[in-house]
């Protein structure tokens, strides 16, 4: 039994869905531990394309148990929609999906507060959130004013909701935003509760029973290390802990239950939303990566900011998460690039940085120190083993591993299932 934790090692969108899908073959249970429907994991199987926001990507295999852990914030309406979509496509059968009764609920006022804050924010204080209500829901969790999925089973929930909504509507009014109608909120939640009742339960016990029985567990991280509320580019982060530390808190499984950590890195870097991005390319090369890599948000459709691979970020991620292996994705996107740059350090005010500085003002002023690599200028997207890579591509991947001090575990050169192959995991 080897339980694997898969985390994003950059700013999210590293191609985790595809790698989870790949590793799910060997897993019995796939569990998500943080975030919410701000995530968008894209998986292509044959001619079909699936974008999952809340449900673990393992659901696409008919025999896997999938768990939405206690660390998530779940929008019940979005979850109903996602389940219904999978049912329609013949993917989801009864008894395979379990939702933690401890996971907090994203309600319509959280989304309205998120959108209201973003629309009023001035440049510099805007985060560029997905407007899925993530920040306000985690804030309520920390303030002990939230509602959990288990509350959907409480007959007194409508009264409690009305009371809380009265407070939230005051905030919305102050923002100049539309108020939420209590009857509409209660009706929507009642309908969602009726639908979701069979899915909600004690996932902490379920997961620990599976662990003790020797079942293979795959932890599916969402977002990425640089969006972590503690270790990311605060305040330009999400409100959860996508890093490996979040996996125990967000599932109720003990640290010993995690046997290895796989970090997913794209062969270049992207980020969505605001905040510093030292290797960002504002030129034709950046646009080329965006178009060739189809770098548009799976959740919001926003164009992603694109740049060179940042080894400072990758090294920092390896340290913070204890990464045992890399899964390198989207190598094929670089197929046509003449010279490929890798940032190995930053310089700021005459000082060299080998790791990510905490101070956001410093990071914003950091300039990348680059090492250049020759491109391979031929297609890698059809290959099915590392041995078939053109020499320059092999050298590039080896350099990423050498510079970051982490060996290669998985390599992916195409969005298709066949384009992902195992090196060492």
**What's the closest the beta carbon of residue 318 comes to ligand IMP, in angstroms?**
20
Q: Which of 227, 229, 312, 334 binds ligand IMP (CB under 6 A)?
A: 227
Between 65 and 238, name the residue whose CB sits nearer to ligand IMP.
238
Residues 6+ apart with CB under 8 A from 194: none
- E runs forming strands in 289-406: 305-307, 309-310, 325-329, 339-348, 351-353, 367-374
Applying CB under 6 A, does 238 fall inside the site for ligand IMP? yes
Angle at 246 (CA atoms; ends 241, 250), nearest 5 degrees: 110
Cα(36)–Cα(240) distance, integer angstroms: 9
Applying CB under 6 A, does 115 fall inside the site for ligand IMP? no
Cα(270)–Cα(292) distance, integer angstroms: 13
Quick one: which segment of 221-229, 252-260, 371-379, 408-416 binds ligand IMP (CB under 6 A)?
221-229
Nearest residue to the partner ligand IMP, using Cβ = 273
- Furthest CA-CA distance within the chain: 66
21 is catalytic: no
Task: Name the pairing type of β-strands 339-348 and 309-310.
Answer: parallel
Crossing angle of the two packed helices 134-143 and 108-120, in degrees rounded to 10: 110
Please pick, among 21, 26, 28, 41, the residue that the annotation labels catalytic: 41
**What's the closest the beta carbon of residue 135 comes to ligand IMP, in angstroms?**
5
Quick one: which segment of 157-165, 231-239, 246-254, 414-422 binds ligand IMP (CB under 6 A)?
231-239
41 is catalytic: yes
**What's the closest the beta carbon of residue 394 comes to ligand IMP, in angstroms?**
29
Cα(147)–Cα(160) distance, integer angstroms: 9
Cα(239)–Cα(139) distance, integer angstroms: 8
Q: Which of 23, 27, 31, 39 binds ligand IMP (CB under 6 A)?
A: 39
Quick one: which segment of 131-139, 150-158, 315-323, 392-400 binds ligand IMP (CB under 6 A)?
131-139
Binding mask 266-305 for ligand IMP (x = CB under 6 A): ------xx--------------------------------
- Report residue 338 as tokens: 């003449």
Can you give the binding site for ligand IMP, defined by CB under 6 A?
12-13, 38-40, 127-130, 132, 134-135, 222-223, 227, 236, 238-239, 272-273
The catalytic residue positions are: 13, 41
């Amino acid at each position: 039994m080897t339980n694997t934790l898969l985390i994003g090692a950059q700013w999210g969108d590293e191609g985790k869905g595809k790698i989870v899908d790949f590793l799910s073959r060997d897993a019995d249970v796939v569990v998500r531990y943080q975030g919410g429907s701000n995530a968008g994991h894209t998986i292509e199987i044959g001619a079909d394309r699936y974008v999952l926001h809340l449900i673990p990507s393992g659901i696409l295999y008919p025999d896997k148990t999938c768990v939405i852990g206690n660390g998530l914030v779940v929008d019940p309406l979005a979850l109903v929609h996602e389940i219904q979509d999978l049912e329609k496509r013949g993917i989801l059968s009864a008894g395979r999906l379990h939702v933690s009764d401890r996971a907090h609920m994203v309600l319509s006022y959280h989304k309205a507060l998120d959108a209201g804050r973003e629309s009023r924010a001035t440049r510099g204080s805007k985060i560029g959130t997905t407007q899925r209500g993530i920040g306000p829901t985690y804030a309520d969790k920390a303030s002990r004013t939230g509602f959990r999925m288990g509350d959907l089973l409480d007959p007194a929930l409508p009264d409690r909701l009305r009371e809380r909504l009265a407070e939230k509507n005051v905030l919305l009014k102050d923002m100049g935003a539309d108020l939420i109608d209590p009857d509409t909120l209660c009706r929507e939640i009642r309908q969602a509760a009726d639908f979701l009742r069979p899915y909600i339960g004690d996932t902490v016990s379920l997961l620990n029973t599976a662990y003790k029985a020797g079942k293979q567990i795959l932890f599916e991280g969402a977002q990425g290390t640089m969006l972590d509320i503690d270790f990311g580019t605060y305040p330009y982060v999400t409100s959860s802990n996508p890093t490996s530390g979040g996996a125990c808190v967000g599932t109720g499984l003990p640290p010993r239950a995690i046997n290895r950590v796989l970090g997913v890195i794209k062969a270049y870097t992207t980020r969505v939303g605001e905040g510093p991005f030292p290797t960002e390319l504002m030129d034709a090369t950046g646009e080329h990566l965006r178009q060739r890599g189809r770098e548009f948000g799976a959740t919001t459709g926003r164009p992603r900011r694109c740049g060179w691979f940042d080894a400072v970020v990758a090294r920092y991620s390896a340290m913070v998460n204890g990464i045992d292996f890399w899964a390198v994705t989207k190598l094929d996107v670089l197929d046509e690039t003449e010279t490929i740059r890798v940032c190995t350090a930053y310089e700021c005010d005459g000082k060299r940085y080998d790791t990510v500085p905490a101070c956001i003002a410093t990071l914003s002023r950091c300039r990348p120190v680059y090492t250049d690599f020759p491109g391979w200028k031929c297609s890698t997207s059809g290959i099915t083993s590392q041995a078939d890579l053109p020499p320059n591509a092999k050298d590039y991947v080896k350099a990423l591993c050498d510079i970051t001090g982490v060996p290669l575990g998985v390599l992916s050169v195409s969005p298709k299932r066949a384009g992902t192959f195992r090196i060492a995991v």
